[in-house]
Structure 1
Amino acid sequence: MEERPSAIDLFCGAGGLTQGLQNAGFEVHWAIDSDAAAVETYRRNHGSHVVEDDIRETDPAIDGPDIEPGVLDLVAGGPPCPSFSTIGRAKLGSLKNRSTENDDRNILYRDFLRYVDYFEPAAFIMENVTGLLSDTAVVETDTIQQSLPTVSASTGEPVGKETPVPEIILEEIDALGYHADWEVVDAADYGVPQHRERVFFIGVREGDTFPDVKRWKTHREPKNERERKISVRSTPGAFKESSQTTFSTDPAVPPFTRGDTARRPYVTVADAIMDLPPVSPGGEMPPSEATEYTLPPVSPYQEWLRDIPEGEDWDEQPLQNHSCRWHNHLDLSIYKLLGHGVGWNIGDVSQEIQPYRDDVFPDKYKKQNPSKPASTILAHIQKDGHMFIHPTEARSLTVREAARLQSFRDSYWFPESRTNAYRLVGNAVPPRLAHAVGHAVREEVLK
């Protein structure tokens, strides 16, 4: 049996990146995160090799995994950089005596690079938000050793050269002896039922082949209305074809083939969630929570998500994390007004129906379109669900629906606390996207 390449996962969160790497054939030996709920979720799904600790206070030689430098194949992770995110800027800007400039989380990538420097892996993958690409930082000189801002004694303001953050990161990577570049990829292009653009910094040893993740795309924009309709799994006699459905024999999660031109249409919201039982804020009929499936999987993607063990029937599996949050009558009335895929910025509607001050957080209402991939699932879903309204029911998405749109299978456990579960789902790397990036690195670098 071929030995699986080795990896560790820094800032592992709920384990989406680990799940994708495992699907790509990696064995993840160690993971770390400072969030207790994330560590519990990771441990429940992946095992006890995860550590709860603040990476800034760790020494990879002492606190890291028992792996000799130069042996590890891959270091992977997504250091949180909220000040590089538009959402992050809004949040930090609304906090008293705090700004993006003094938020130390925007240099956590250096702790990631500390582990790369110590373990000397064959390659590394660092994921982040695309807002990082347009950000800048003040540096004293062009030398990497002095790239942190210095402060004026008279004004207290940073002084020096304003430099694009990606340039700073690439220079620091180069100083470690790695060749690196970044790519912006959309999760929908790799079979995730969600448009989610993320930037991946991928580094390899100097002289090694550099992977091109975009050559491994499996999905594309639909060519016509027929391709936009829900793809129904072709179980003989199980379903009848109608004007609303299109039968498909394509695999739900096609294999990654470099340069594949026969890409499938995007996986849609309907493909992902419309088989789940209805739930309602009122909790009568439908109930507020469903713990059992009432329909078999309809689409091939739903069948893959169900992850039904061989020999068991679809109705023998428990349904997890599918409960509806409470909504007031104002929210429900607005939800009913919106058509599929329609969104309103809070400031665009009259003051009488605005739930927030539009000068603090530029929130919006958005009903998901069943015939398209979802909009980006954000951790903000833990606060409210206005941006993530169900296509046909007057409510926001459940944790399980959000997890499916992130490509987590139904067997993946999330905490019973909806607040924690929503946050973990929104912050996660979609496993299917991580699978694609990990597969590209394994095939183009490690072989």
Structure 2
Amino acid sequence: MSGKLTAVDLFSGAGGLSLGFIQTGHVEIIAAVENNASAQQTYLANHPDVELFGDIQNVDYNLILDECKRKGTEKVDIVFGGPPCQGFSNANRQKASLISANNQLVKEFVKAIKLLNPDGFVLENVKELKSSKHKFFLSSHDEQEIVGMGIVTSEEKVSLGEVTSFKTELLDFLNESLRAPFAKYEVLDKILFSKLNHLNRKKKEAELYLKKTRSAIKNFYENWEKLHDYYWCPEYKEKWMQLKDLLQDEESPLEEVFSCLNEVIIIQQIIMRAGEIETNGLIVDQFYTIDNEIIVNLQTYIVLDYLKAKFKSLGYKFNEDQLVLNSANFGAPQQRERLFLVGVKNGLCEQNEVRLPEPIIRNPEQFYTVKDAIEDLENVWPYVLMEDDQQPLTKATMINRNPLLTYLQAGLGNVHNHIMTDTRETALQRFQMLQQGQNFHHLDDSYKGTYSNPQRTQNTVYLRLNYNNPSGTVLNIRKSMWIHPVKDRAVSIREAARLQTFPDNFVFMGSKDAQYQQVGNAVPPLLGRAVADQLLYYLGRSPIKSLKEIITLPQTVDI
């Protein structure tokens, strides 16, 4: 080994956190875990010596420890990562599932900490993780552990759906079958159900989508009755068979088709959600109704409460109160707030408490701007075709580069990934109408015709960036159609990566949309670097060169 601390990156994505830790000069990444194929390509292209694992639920952590031994060390010093976590919301009727599988991935992170037993860890997540919306449902599998850790549970009224027919029959069925496998009452073919469900949500475009669906499902008609193992009541079976007749007959009135379809879909969704409750062993008494809603009371507990209790039980101290950092405070030309838990093994940290790093740039007037990060690419017209990127483009020479741009250019005269979405005539007309800082809602109504509900369009759609401010949170800006501040074109992948503080020697792989998505999903490396510096301080290491030295102008450094 090189004398560096060993680290494992969980849910690594393209590798933003890994890059931040590597930049400290004190960390070597032993292994990373990432399930997305395109992100895996990018990670390995930039970290070729790292052992990469796929689905975290199938990782054998003994193999990671074996990798440590192969590299001359007995243990993992640091584990970091950002497990996806989706908030619990009883109001969202469009969710396909009652229980988000993503929430369970948070527990996989905890499992890794338990098995690898690092000296320190960093958990990164959305800032909303600290809200009470991020909850786990209590199950019979974890009840003893949750009670034993003193975590407070609360009761939530959860709606499985709203029914207008068969309400009494369905309620009786659910309560009588509470411990039975509900799956056998569901539509067997999930592809068929998905197409029917999609059609049910497209009533406004009925003629177009009904024609497409009829064509797509015609092979199912012959075995329609056998598409359920069991029918939960005879009346529902009649409704199911009626739906086939209405779909087969192209003269069927639209209202009849969609009325029947809606009843079938709602009932199926309720049974599927009841199946989730059963499969996951959730603690439940019985189902009941309020008006037309099928309701069940479920016990929940807050994800952050669980994490804090669990990490304490594993022997770590961590930041208890200050949880959220803004990337703009650490040199990013972007306002992006993320939650961090930084944990250190009891006994290794002499301080009474663990805290997140203090902001380096405090004054918002001194934040780096979009112009600071991408001005040298202003007149370098991006590629549209991915294959053209094999020949890198030449950057403009900037005489007075700011420290951020010096870091971002990485000493290279050329640039890869300067690729953008092709701009069609309708989009170009919108681009030309918008000034810096304006978005879709600033357009004249005559330019909004392609949107079915323009009022509900987010403020980030068709956003023309302002050169003189940091950007907002970078997500998948291809989907949002972000516009260059002074050119009538889309923001390129490289420009988005610059806003995220990926230097130009970090190359993204995969399709165009995959690259935009990887950039949007990433932790800004400079923000990761700030947190890495802080953890290393608690582990007795000092950075070779501090982040403050790298990215601050003299007048922005706090004395």
| 1:178 maps to 2:321 | no
Aligned partners of 1:404 and 1:174: how far apart in 2? Answer: 37
| 1:377 maps to 2:465 | no
1:15-74 Cα deviation digits (max 9, x unpaired): 111110011221111111111111111111111323241001223124665347983221
1:116-168 Cα deviation digits (max 9, x unpaired): 10111111001011122222424366526898872436439764444332112
TM-fit CA distance, 1:14: 0.6
What residue ranges of structure 2 are gaps of 5+ in the alignment?
154-279, 288-293, 542-559
Q: CA separation of 1:164/1:417 partners in 2, compared to 1, >3 Å: closer, same or farther? A: same
| 1:31 maps to 2:29 | no
Map 1:5-84 to 2 at 5 A.
5-24=5-24, 25-62=26-63, 66-67=67-68, 71-81=75-85, 83-84=86-87
8 Å Cα contact 1:6-1:74 kept in structure 2: yes
Please, which moves more after superposition, 137-146 or 432-441? 137-146
- The one-letter amino acid paired with 1:128 is N
Q: CA separation of 1:187/1:444 partners in 2, compared to 1, >3 Å: closer, same or farther? A: same
In the other structure, the counterpart of 2:405 is 302
TM-fit CA distance, 1:173: 1.8
TM-fit CA distance, 1:444: 2.7
Q: CA separation of 1:149/1:397 partners in 2, compared to 1, >3 Å: closer, same or farther? A: farther
Aligned partners of 1:93 and 1:430: how far apart in 2? Answer: 33
8 Å Cα contact 1:279-1:324 kept in structure 2: no
Map 1:327-406 to 2 at 5 A.
327-345=423-441, 350=445, 353=448, 355-358=450-453, 362=458, 364-378=461-475, 380-382=476-478, 384-386=479-481, 388-406=482-500
- Structure 1 or 2: more helix by fraction: 2
1:279-334 Cα deviation digits (max 9, x unpaired): 66997xxx9998322521352222222212xxxxx6xx332111221122222222
- The one-letter amino acid paired with 1:175 is S
Map 1:434-445 to 2 at 5 A.
434-445=528-539
TM-fit CA distance, 1:75: 0.6
TM-fit CA distance, 1:93: 6.2
SS at match of 2:483: coil
Aligned partners of 1:154 and 1:184: how far apart in 2? Answer: 39
8 Å Cα contact 2:383-2:418 kept in structure 1: no
Q: CA separation of 1:205/1:158 partners in 2, compared to 1, >3 Å: closer, same or farther? A: farther
In the other structure, the counterpart of 1:320 is 416
- The one-letter amino acid paired with 1:323 is I
Q: CA separation of 1:76/1:157 partners in 2, compared to 1, >3 Å: closer, same or farther? A: farther
Tell me how large the CA RMSD over aligned residues is.
3.4
Aligned partners of 1:71 and 1:410: how far apart in 2? Answer: 33
TM-fit CA distance, 1:190: 0.3
SS at match of 2:7: strand
Aligned partners of 1:197 and 1:271: how far apart in 2? Answer: 20
Aligned partners of 1:414 and 1:35: how far apart in 2? Answer: 13
Aligned partners of 1:354 and 1:168: how far apart in 2? Answer: 47
8 Å Cα contact 1:377-1:402 kept in structure 2: yes
Aligned partners of 2:318 and 2:13: how far apart in 1? Answer: 24
Aligned partners of 2:530 and 2:376: how far apart in 1? Answer: 26
Larger Rg: 2
TM-fit CA distance, 1:181: 3.2
In the other structure, the counterpart of 1:143 is 147
8 Å Cα contact 1:42-1:50 kept in structure 2: no
| 1:131 maps to 2:227 | no
Q: CA separation of 1:130/1:105 partners in 2, compared to 1, >3 Å: closer, same or farther? A: same
In the other structure, the counterpart of 2:556 is none
Q: CA separation of 1:331/1:144 partners in 2, compared to 1, >3 Å: closer, same or farther? A: farther
Map 1:88-99 to 2 at 5 A.
94=94, 98-99=96-97
Aligned partners of 1:373 and 1:85: how far apart in 2? Answer: 31
8 Å Cα contact 2:31-2:50 kept in structure 1: yes
In the other structure, the counterpart of 2:377 is 276
Q: CA separation of 1:292/1:164 partners in 2, compared to 1, >3 Å: closer, same or farther? A: same
Aligned partners of 1:390 and 1:336: how far apart in 2? Answer: 11
8 Å Cα contact 2:319-2:354 kept in structure 1: no
In the other structure, the counterpart of 1:246 is none
Aligned partners of 1:280 and 1:340: how far apart in 2? Answer: 19
TM-fit CA distance, 1:425: 0.7
Please, which moves more after superposition, 155-164 or 403-412? 155-164
In the other structure, the counterpart of 1:200 is 340
Aligned length: 384
TM-fit CA distance, 1:355: 4.3
8 Å Cα contact 1:305-1:408 kept in structure 2: yes
Aligned partners of 1:51 and 1:339: how far apart in 2? Answer: 44
In the other structure, the counterpart of 2:355 is 212
- The one-letter amino acid paired with 1:319 is V
In the other structure, the counterpart of 1:254 is none
Map 1:253-268 to 2 at 5 A.
265-268=366-369
SS at match of 1:152: coil
SS at match of 2:377: coil
Instruction: Tell me which of the two structures has the higher relative contact order, counting C-alpha pairs closer than 8 angstroms and 6 or more residues apart.
Output: 2
Aligned partners of 1:351 and 1:123: how far apart in 2? Answer: 56
TM-fit CA distance, 1:269: 0.4
SS at match of 2:333: coil
TM-fit CA distance, 1:335: 2.1
Aligned partners of 1:354 and 1:290: how far apart in 2? Answer: 39
User: Could you state the TM-score of these two structures normalised by the residue count of structure 1?
Assistant: 0.76
TM-fit CA distance, 1:169: 1.7
Aligned partners of 1:127 and 1:220: how far apart in 2? Answer: 22
Aligned partners of 1:164 and 1:57: how far apart in 2? Answer: 26
- The one-letter amino acid paired with 1:390 is H
What residue ranges of structure 1 are gaps of 5+ in the alignment?
224-264, 309-313
Aligned partners of 1:59 and 1:157: how far apart in 2? Answer: 40
- The one-letter amino acid paired with 1:188 is A
Aligned partners of 2:383 and 2:311: how far apart in 1? Answer: 53
TM-fit CA distance, 1:170: 1.2
TM-fit CA distance, 1:367: 1.4
User: Could you state the TM-score of these two structures normalised by the residue count of structure 2?
Assistant: 0.62
In the other structure, the counterpart of 1:421 is 515
Q: CA separation of 1:72/1:297 partners in 2, compared to 1, >3 Å: closer, same or farther? A: same
- The one-letter amino acid paired with 2:488 is A
TM-fit CA distance, 1:341: 1.8
- The one-letter amino acid paired with 1:307 is A
